[in-house]
Amino acid sequence: MASRVVRPFPAPLARQDEVPATALQSADSLGLIRRMRRNRKAEWSRRLVRENVLTTNDLIWPIFLVDSSQARTPVVWMPGVDRLNIEEAVRQSVEAAKLGIPAIAPFPNVEKSLRDATASEALNTRNLMCRAVRAIKQEVPELGIICDAALDPYTSHGHDGVMAGETVLNDASVRILTEQALALADAGADVIAPSDMMDGRVGAIRAGLDAAGFDQVQIMSYAAKYASAYYGPFRDAIGTNATLIGDKRTYQMDPANSDEAIAEVALDLEEGADMVMIKPGLPYLDVIARVKDHFRVPTFAYQVSGEYAMIQAAALNGWLDGDKAMLESLIAFKRAGADGVLTYFAPRVAEKLKAIG
């Protein structure tokens, strides 16, 4: 057996007030062949060996809409985020396109009086979403618009589907979601993003879109959407926090599972999803990595409202460097394998990336 060379533990340095650097180096050298720190010694070198890069092309910007005479109304639980009226949403879309953000994802805060048990307002082709999508498409046709298919902004009970007693009905909800998707496609949505987690909705929406001549409208499915506490501030933004009865654990996924995410993604791809999404983001990086490794399809992460709020709250208290934490959280998605991220930070990041050049 080859004997291992055991290096004597370096003798402790004599206590001195100042030891010259060279003396420290020679006294302590471990004679290492590989030193991982060499590549980190200067910014040019760190840039050269960097494995992942965040670009503006990776960003999807979720925005909140409201019917209001005021251009902006603040979302209290998401400092720095406002609900926009249609005119302001158009202006912000123009800005987003100028910054090079590829796409936005609008979400409506629907007037309470328009919400009912069957989400009938979701099918109104003149509803807030449809009017906003038309207006934005007319002004900035080159900006992608990704529209949620989900009933929660429109239901009086705050669930993503219609209910019988305490049960959220699957197939009946899918029929309504398909109609909703058609209304959005007709308004000009480029991508339908079913976020409801009903079974079979991707296939039904694909068939509905194709039959109506919208065969070029893409589907980005919220394939693995978890029943998460991190959606809290979003429910403030769209005004469902007060109305939601119970929770969504009978249709959204159990945070304890990840094999199940693979099964969900497989089904959505079979049913015709062009892109898949995992949501929330940072607490589910392992799921993003597994899905990307397994399927090699366009995979997106949603950095949800609670993730945004945590960073912002800490930054506003002076407990975190907000910009650094924002960028670090976003590069994590790239490292995990995501092709892009829905993030409320999108315009701020795009501005920063533009300034860096």
Ligand X SMILES: NCC(=O)CCC(=O)O
> Which residue, 234 or 333, has its beta carbon nearer to ligand X?
234
Has 137 been annotated as catalytic? no
Q: Find the binding residues for ligand X in span 272-331 (CB under 6 A).
A: 304-306
Q: Which of 248, 279, 292, 334 is catalytic?
A: 279
Which of the choices Mg ion, ligand X, none does residue 264 contact, using the CB cut-off of 5 to 8 A by kind? Mg ion
> Which of 64, 77, 234, 345 is the binder for ligand X (CB under 6 A)?
234
61 binds ligand X (CB under 6 A): no
What's the number of CA atoms in the CB half-sphere (13 Å) around residue 316?
10
- Asked if 231 is part of the footprint of ligand X (rule: CB under 6 A), the reply reads yes
279 is catalytic: yes
Q: Do the annotations mark residue 264 as ligand-binding?
A: yes
Rounded least distance, CB 307 to ligand X, Å: 8
CB atoms within 10 A of CB 325: 17
Of the pair 160, 236, the CB lying nearest Mg ion is at 160
- Measured distance between the N- and C-terminal CA atoms of the chain, rounded to whole angstroms: 57
C-alpha–C-alpha distance, residues 217 and 117, integer Å: 28
Residue 128's nearest CA partner among 146, 147, 104, 110 is 110
What is the 3-state composition of the chain as percent helix, strand, coil, each rounded to the nearest 5?
A: 45, 15, 40
Shortest-Cβ-distance residue relative to Mg ion: 264
Closest CA to 185 of 177, 197, 174: 177
Backbone angles phi, psi at 122, to 5 degrees: -60, -25
For ligand X, the closer CB: 214 or 222: 222
Radius of gyration of the chain from its Cα atoms, rounded to whole angstroms: 25
Residues that bind Mg ion (CB under 5 A): 264
Rule CB under 6 A: choose which of 82, 148, 190, 271 binds ligand X: 148
- Catalytically active residues, by annotation: 225, 279
- Positions in the binding site for ligand X (CB under 6 A): 148, 150, 195, 231, 234, 304-306
